[in-house]
Structure 1
């Protein structure tokens, strides 16, 4: 009769169980590190479980477009509220310029981190020019290339207000009917989150 098989002793069974437990722990650690990255990539690529709510009020511009793409040649190293006037700077355009100035004042101690500007495609009327010189001494002024604005903004017939970061990237866009309180809240939130400008 052949030699009887000896069952594994208790001392041999313990290392095998320890190795199995170690492998399970390693697998859990790897899943804990890699799993969230795979889940986030899947959520982004397949657009599932993406929250519908948002905390900003303007139209988010997240495609890498810059102030130069708007048709504005400027070099500002602060956050900027830029009003673009593709046509005559009429009442709605003038309201946006006024609002940008009021928002900057409303920033309080952070007012120095932002500026307000007007980019106009056409010369302004003499009365409005005099008013800007008198009432808006810090307003930066730029010429506007409407061809660049049309490429960037699509329908570029109405004046718009843009929030631009210190690197010149377009962040948010607002139409002439923007609520000033919403705009102020958006800019305050951006300044709070930002380490630049």
Structure 2
């Protein structure tokens, strides 16, 4: 009578799970999780199936270098347009300083997320110093350590403009031939993708 009242005792044979089906499901789940990571690692290490096209105009600095690695000590918490001048800040350097200021203004409502700066190894001339004070009141100024700058593989000898992220990492580098519109597009794209700074 007790056995008849227990609805769980429907049959005397216990149900046996299909272990083979369960193993295949586990293998498929593992392949779905680990497979893409393994494929991406092999693509990166062996450089196959890597697209040649790019959407940025500068030289990507993807080796983890920071501002300090090119001889600039700064504590800026925003995106930064940094001009480096390892020699005298001549016409091309001055053009990059002007471009950095114009790019920050060109960001419009995002202008507060970025700053512009000049890191020079030598003092600028008195006339240019006066011009910077009058026309570039928000320009940040830093000394450039030539010894450290010279050791940086990504730092060539002439004036350059760098995009630096809020953590101080070098992101993109541009020479004096850069077009302002291209650089502005790159900067806007970075700010759009980033939720820092």
Aligned 8 A contact 2:61 2:154 in 1: no
Is 1:145 the counterpart of 2:145? The answer is: yes
In the other structure, the counterpart of 2:183 is 183
Is 1:21 the counterpart of 2:21? The answer is: yes
Comparing 84-93 and 24-33, the one that deviates more: 24-33
- Residue pairs, 1:120-139, within 5 angstroms: 120-139=120-139
In structure 1, C-alpha distance between the alignment counterparts of 2:31 and 2:121, rounded to whole Å: 56
Q: How big is the shift at 1:19?
A: 3.7
In structure 2, C-alpha distance between the alignment counterparts of 1:182 and 1:86, rounded to whole Å: 24
- Residue pairs, 1:13-162, within 5 angstroms: 18-153=18-153, 156-162=156-162
In structure 1, C-alpha distance between the alignment counterparts of 2:140 and 2:153, rounded to whole Å: 21
Aligned 8 A contact 2:160 2:175 in 1: yes
In structure 1, C-alpha distance between the alignment counterparts of 2:185 and 2:44, rounded to whole Å: 27
The alignment yields a C-alpha RMSD, in angstroms, of 1.8
Is 1:194 the counterpart of 2:188? The answer is: no
In the other structure, the counterpart of 1:7 is none
- Residue pairs, 1:155-170, within 5 angstroms: 156-170=156-170
SS at match of 1:82: strand
In structure 2, C-alpha distance between the alignment counterparts of 1:182 and 1:60, rounded to whole Å: 14
Q: How big is the shift at 1:155?
A: 5.9
Normalising by structure 1, we get a TM-score of 0.87
Q: How big is the shift at 1:15?
A: 6.0
For structure 1, the residue ranges without an aligned partner over 5 or more in a row are 1-11
Q: How big is the shift at 1:158?
A: 0.8
SS at match of 1:30: helix
SS at match of 1:41: helix
Normalising by structure 2, we get a TM-score of 0.87
In structure 2, C-alpha distance between the alignment counterparts of 1:72 and 1:37, rounded to whole Å: 36
In structure 1, C-alpha distance between the alignment counterparts of 2:155 and 2:61, rounded to whole Å: 15
SS at match of 2:161: strand
Instruction: Return structure 1 stretches of 4+ with deviation > 6 angstroms.
Output: none
In the other structure, the counterpart of 1:6 is none
SS at match of 2:152: helix
